[in-house]
Chain A
Amino acid sequence: MWFFVIGDLWIFACYFACYMRDRARNPELFQQGQELLSQGIGALNTVILLTSSLFVALCVQATRAKDIAVASRFLALGSACGAAFMLIKAGEWYLKIHAGFPESTDPFFIYYFMLTGLHMVHVALGLVILALLWRELRGAKEPRAQFAETCATYWHMVDSLWIAIFALVYLVR
């Protein structure tokens, strides 16, 4: 999994580098676009995702301690936060599209939709991975702590990517 995480971070680093390069070329346009985003929704989503990471970390701890009931409870909470993140993000997209923001020639909004969209794909994949962990916790006689750690590694990567996207797309002025 670390192999995957490092490679994935590299690919996102390429996206971020391109974003910063284009932003430096056309600061006013990006500034205007950024002002149309809702920092409140972004911050809320950041908190939700950070909370889900906390739950997943607690789940790993409980799995190590072989306390499966507690581990599955934390896992359910973590997954629920992940699902909430996706719902809020979808709502935010809906509002943006409804307001007519994605003008085809506006590079900022193409970046906005692509970066957050790719991140959403990662969150969706993360939920599948958490579901596999759920199956392991509920189904296996002796749930493997290492498996839980691997799943959590991926989930924390998704979280850290979001923090970078939130900082670059919503906050940087």
Chain B
Amino acid sequence: MSESVWAGRAGTPRSAGAEARLARNPKLDQWICYWSIPFFYTLFGLIFVLFGRIMPPPSPTASIEDVLEYMQAPKLGVGMALLSLTLGLASLSSGVIVVQMKRMEGISPVLPYAYLTALAVAGVPGCLFPGFVFALGNFRPEYSAQIQQMLYDLGFLSFVGSLGCFVIQYLVFAIAIFLDRRMIFPKWLGYLTIWALVTELVAIPIWITRTGPFAWDGLLSFYLGTVLFVGWEFCMCVCLYRAIKNQPVEELIGRAAAHGE
């Protein structure tokens, strides 16, 4: 995608200065997107853990007093407002991942687009929708206790229950890694992706159970999946860093020059 930005500019006559800047740091755009990832996840962690107290999640069997106290904490509203501002940053990280996926050889060109769309679709129930639901309960404390309870349940069911929506994204990514002949990402990241996929499947029973390891605050449905996700994200960052670093500069400049002709 970044290439197309350069390519678009290359269509018009370019000053020698711009040419030199591109030659000096042709990966600048990718690096900016890359470093937005740690920034994004730090903000994300602050919002979810400190402001929202969504992680670690409170219990599905919490008493109504606890639910009301949770929903009316002033921090929750602030956190959800911040969330709506920061979630868009995820598009930068997806963008740079797709740029690297498009360099793969031997994969179907459908896969990078499928990855991007799957992530965008899953991000709505997994992040934005629960954020709005919590913000709504927080916005009007006069809602009856039952409505507050419903918003609390809906928020957490959407937040944890949407883990299944990420399965296709993981699957597409793993398939792309295994088929890729250029080894843009290492094979072991593909295996790790499959584990992440399997642990997300375990979140399915949260819709029918309120206690035990398969509840939304359960050891298996929440904690195991979350630990694997954090590990996956970390490895993903390392592999993505290497992928951008190892990308031959000629690939970027050559392509821009070819478009400019």
Q: In B152-205, which residues have CB < 8 Å from any A CB?
A: 188, 191-192, 194-195, 198-199, 201-202, 204-205
Q: Is B212 in the interface zone, CB < 8 Å from A?
A: yes
A110 touches B192 (CB 8 A): no
A11, A102, A104: the one within 8 Å of B199 (CB):
A11
| Smallest CB gap from A132: residue in B | B178
| Smallest CB gap from B208: residue in A | A104
A3, A15, A114: the one within 8 Å of B191 (CB):
A3
Contacts of A164 in B (CB 8 A): none
B191, B202, B205: the one within 8 Å of A7 (CB):
B191
Q: In A102-126, which residues have CB < 8 Å from any B CB?
A: 102, 104-105, 107, 110, 113-114, 117-118, 121-122, 125
Contacts of B214 in A (CB 8 A): 107, 110, 114
A15 to B221: give the CA distance in the assembly, Å.
Answer: 10
A102 to B214: give the CA distance in the assembly, Å.
Answer: 14
A110 touches B212 (CB 8 A): yes
Q: Which of A4, A110, A114, A117 has the most CB of B within 10 A?
A: A110
B198, B199, B205: the one within 8 Å of A110 (CB):
B205
Sort chain A's interface into a size bin.
20 to 34
| Smallest CB gap from B207: residue in A | A104
Q: Is A67 in the interface zone, CB < 8 Å from B?
A: no
Sort chain B's interface into a size bin.
20 to 34
Contacts of A125 in B (CB 8 A): 194
Q: In B207-225, which residues have CB < 8 Å from any A CB?
A: 208-214, 219-220, 224
Q: In B43-73, which residues have CB < 8 Å from any A CB?
A: none
A14 touches B224 (CB 8 A): yes
A12 to B199: give the CA distance in the assembly, Å.
Answer: 10
Contacts of B208 in A (CB 8 A): 102, 104, 110
Contacts of B224 in A (CB 8 A): 11, 14
Contacts of A110 in B (CB 8 A): 205, 208-209, 212, 214
As a 0/1 sequence over residues 21 to 38 of chain A, the CB contacts with chain B under 8 angstroms (1 = contact) are 010000000000000000
Contacts of B204 in A (CB 8 A): 114
A113 to B201: give the CA distance in the assembly, Å.
Answer: 12
A29 to B156: give the CA distance in the assembly, Å.
Answer: 28
B202 touches A118 (CB 8 A): yes
Q: In A75-112, which residues have CB < 8 Å from any B CB?
A: 102, 104-105, 107, 110
Contacts of B194 in A (CB 8 A): 4, 125
A18 to B214: give the CA distance in the assembly, Å.
Answer: 10
Contacts of B228 in A (CB 8 A): 11
CB distance from A139 to the nearest CB of B (A): 15
| Smallest CB gap from A105: residue in B | B209
CB distance from B188 to the nearest CB of A (A): 6
Contact A107:B212 (CB < 8 A) given known A18-B220, A114-B202, A114-B205? yes
Q: A: which residues have CB within 8 A of B? A: 3-4, 7-8, 11, 14-15, 18, 22, 102, 104-105, 107, 110, 113-114, 117-118, 121-122, 125
Taking A22-B212, A105-B210, A107-B211 as known contacts, 10 extra A-B pairs with beta carbons closer than 8 A to each other, sorted by chain A number, are A4-B191, A7-B192, A18-B213, A105-B211, A107-B212, A107-B214, A110-B209, A114-B202, A118-B198, A121-B201
